[in-house]
């Protein structure tokens, strides 16, 4: 009788082929940083990153000023070193993390190169990126739940389109934000039911049925928007005005307690101005990055611009009070 002894051996998490491929990718990115960015950048150029989003006057972060060519050289050298280490010994289970870092170096190098000799509001760009990523993140989370349940759901876009249209339409007709929210949920559930019927009852491929739902939702919502929502504005004027007015009132209360204008008040002003006037409010002392450069070159013009900004801000504040009264009357 023989006895078999089983020994567990931990397999390497990165194959030799993948290790070499990743090392070559790192080196290629380093070479691209040199060829595309460094060779077209002079040594005297500076890249200025404004770290405070526009419209904020409290808690202002200092600007981030970098020598463009030196920064690009550092990114290229570090990427090349990481590529050499990957080829020589590899990073094992951390290879994907190093790949992300090198890719981030390349993207950051592109931003430094594009803004060389100029200024870029990096804080505003990151803020907008986070804001615009919210619906994409919600869609990704719904796809994750579907995958955990064994469903390949590529009809997420169609469900979100149908829910958004029904929410805006029903909320505008009823004047209730909560009824509009329930209608949006019902629209998404309806599209999910259609996907379930096509996939389970009629055994249609889930990819094909999801594509059909996306095409249908895109065409249906586009037609309703063009024929009705854009023609009859009262059908596309949901109770979000109540939320905006409440936010502005909250800002006023904060300002009355603190004895001065607060950032929340300015946020409410900006939102309501954007809805009623189609533009963002500019506040006294707020300039963009290009304006800052011009004012540094001409201090007299800077004072004149600040004076005009104060007058413009005061004028918009009086106009805004009338808009809030109109909004409150509509609500």
Q: What is the pLDDT of residues 222-276, one digit of tens each?
A: 999 999 999 998 888 877 656 666 666 666 666 566 554 444 444 445 544 544 4
Question: Is this prediction's pTM over 0.85?
Answer: no
1 within domain boundaries: no
Same domain, 205 and 245: no
Q: 205, 236, 267 — which closes off a domain?
A: 236
Average pLDDT, the chain: 79
140 within domain boundaries: no
Cα–Cα dist 290/60, whole Å: 17
Cα–Cα dist 34/44, whole Å: 17
3 within domain boundaries: no
Per-residue pLDDT tens digits for 127-172: 899 989 998 999 999 999 999 988 889 999 999 999 999 999 999 9
Q: What pLDDT, on a 0 to 100 scale, did the predictor assign at position 57?
A: 78
Could you list the residue range(s) of the whole structural domain that residue 252 is in?
Answer: 240-330
201 within domain boundaries: yes
Reduced to 3 states (helix: H, G, I; strand: E, B; else coil), residue 327 is helix
Number of domains in the chain: 3
Same domain, 221 and 247: no
Q: What pLDDT, on a 0 to 100 scale, did the predictor assign at position 322?
A: 44
Cα–Cα dist 266/196, whole Å: 46
Cα–Cα dist 16/53, whole Å: 46
How many other C-beta atoms are found inside a 10 Å radius of the C-beta of residue 323?
A: 19
Report in angstroms the alpha-carbon separations of 139 from 133, 199, 241, 279: 10, 20, 26, 29
139 within domain boundaries: no
62 within domain boundaries: yes
Same domain, 123 and 21: yes
Same domain, 117 and 180: no
Same domain, 224 and 262: no
Tokens 């150029």, located at residue: 45
135 within domain boundaries: no
Residue 248 neighbours by CB under 8 Å, 6+ apart: 265, 268, 269, 271, 272, 324
Residue 163 neighbours by CB under 8 Å, 6+ apart: 184, 185, 187, 188, 191
């Amino acid at each position: 009788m023989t006895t078999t002894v089983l020994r567990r051996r931990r397999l390497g998490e990165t194959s030799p082929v993948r290790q070499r491929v990743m090392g070559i990718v790192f080196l290629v990115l380093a070479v691209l940083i040199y060829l595309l960015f460094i060779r077209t950048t002079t040594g005297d150029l500076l890249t200025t990153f404004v770290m405070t989003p526009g419209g904020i006057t409290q808690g202002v972060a200092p600007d981030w000023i970098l020598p463009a060519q030196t920064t690009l050289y550092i990114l290229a050298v570090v990427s090349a070193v990481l590529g050499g280490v990957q080829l020589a010994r590899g990073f094992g289970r951390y290879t994907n993390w190093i790949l992300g870092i090198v890719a981030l170096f390349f993207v950051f190098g592109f931003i430094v190169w594009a803004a060389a000799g100029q200024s870029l509001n990096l804080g505003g760009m990151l803020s907008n990126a986070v804001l615009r990523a919210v619906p994409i993140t919600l869609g990704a989370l719904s796809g994750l739940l579907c995958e955990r349940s064994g469903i390949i759901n590529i009809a997420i876009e169609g469900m979100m389109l149908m829910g958004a249209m029904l929410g805006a339409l029903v909320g505008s007709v009823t004047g209730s934000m909560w009824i509009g929210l329930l209608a949006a949920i019902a629209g998404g559930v309806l599209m999910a039911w259609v996907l379930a019927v096509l996939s389970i009852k009629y055994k249609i491929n889930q990819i094909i049925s999801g594509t059909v739902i996306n095409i249908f939702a895109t065409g249906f919502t586009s037609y309703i928007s063009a024929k009705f929502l854009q023609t009859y504005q009262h059908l596309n004027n949901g109770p979000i005005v109540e939320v905006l007015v409440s936010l502005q009132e909250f800002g006023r209360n904060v300002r009355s307690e603190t004895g001065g204008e607060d950032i929340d008040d300015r946020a409410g002003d900006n939102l309501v101005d954007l809805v009623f006037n189609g533009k963002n409010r500019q506040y006294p002392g707020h300039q963009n990055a290009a304006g800052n450069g011009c004012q540094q070159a001409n201090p007299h013009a800077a004072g004149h611009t600040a004076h005009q900004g104060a007058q413009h801000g005061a004028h918009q504040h009086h106009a805004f009070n009338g808009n809030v009264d109109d909004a409150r009357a509509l609500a």
